[in-house]
Amino acid sequence: MTTPAPDTPVDTLAIAVAQLNPTVGDVAGNLDLARRTRESAREAGADLVVFTELFIAGYPPEDLVLKPAFQKACREAIETLAAETVDGPAVLIGAPWVEEERLYNSVLLLENGGISAVRHKVDLPNYGVFDEKRVFAPGPLPGPIPFKGVRLGVPVCEDIWGADVVECLAETGAEILLVPNGSPYRRTVYAERENIAVARVVESHLPLLYVNQVGGQDELVFDGASFALNADRTLALQFPGFMDRVRLSKWQRFENGWKCLGANLADRIEGDEADYAACVLGLRDYVNKNRFPGVVLGLSGGIDSALCAAMAVDALGPERVHCIMLPYRYTSADSLSDAAAVAQALGVRYDTVPIASGVEGIEAALAPLFEGTQRDVTEENLQSRVRGALLMSVSNKFGAMVVTTGNKSEMSTGYATLYGDMNGGYNPIKDLYKTQVVRLSRLRNRWKPADALGPDGVVMPDSLIDKPPTAELRENQKDEDSLPPYAVLDAILERLVEREEPVTSLIADGFDAATVKRVERLLHIAEYKRRQAAPGVKVTGRNFGRDRRYPITNRFREG
3-state class (DSSP) for residue 117: strand
Rounded CA-CA distance 137/122 in Å is 8
Distances (CA, A) of 45 to 39, 240, 378, 397: 10, 22, 67, 51
Residue type, 115: I
Task: Give the closest residue to 291 by CA, choosing from 324, 318, 316.
Answer: 316
95 DSSP β-pair partners: 106
- 424 touches 402 (CB < 8 A): yes
**What is the spatial distance between Cα 51 and Cα 246, in angstroms, rounded to a whole number?**
10
| Cβ atoms 241, 223 nearer than 8 A | yes
| Alpha carbons 540 and 431: distance in angstroms, whole number | 7
Positive/negative CA dihedral, 263, 260, 212, 317: positive
Which residues pair with residue 217 across a beta bridge? 220
Measured over the CA atoms of residue 494, residue 496, residue 497 and residue 499, the dihedral's sign is positive
Q: Measured between alpha carbons, how far is 443 from 104 in angstroms, rounded to an integer? A: 43
List beta partners, residue 258.
253
Q: 187: closest CA among 218, 160, 155, 225?
A: 225
E strands, 277-390, are 295-298, 321-325, 349-352
DSSP state of 538: -
Judge contact between 279 and 313, C-beta under 8 A. no
Q: Return the active site residues.
A: 53, 121, 157
Count other C-beta atoms under 10 Å from residue 124's C-beta.
22
Closest to 268 (Cα-Cα) out of 234, 224, 221, 311: 224
List Cα–Cα distances, 59 to 56, 74, 181, 292, 543, in angstroms. Answer: 9, 13, 9, 21, 19
Give the separation between CA 494 and CA 491, rounded to whole angstroms: 5
Characterise 88 by phi-psi region: left (phi > 0), alpha (psi -120 to 50), beta (else): left
What is the number of H-type helices and E-type strands within the chain?
16, 20
Instruction: Answer positive or negative: Cα dihedral of 333, 336, 339, 344.
Output: negative
Which of 14, 11, 32 has the alpha carbon at shortest distance from 23?
32
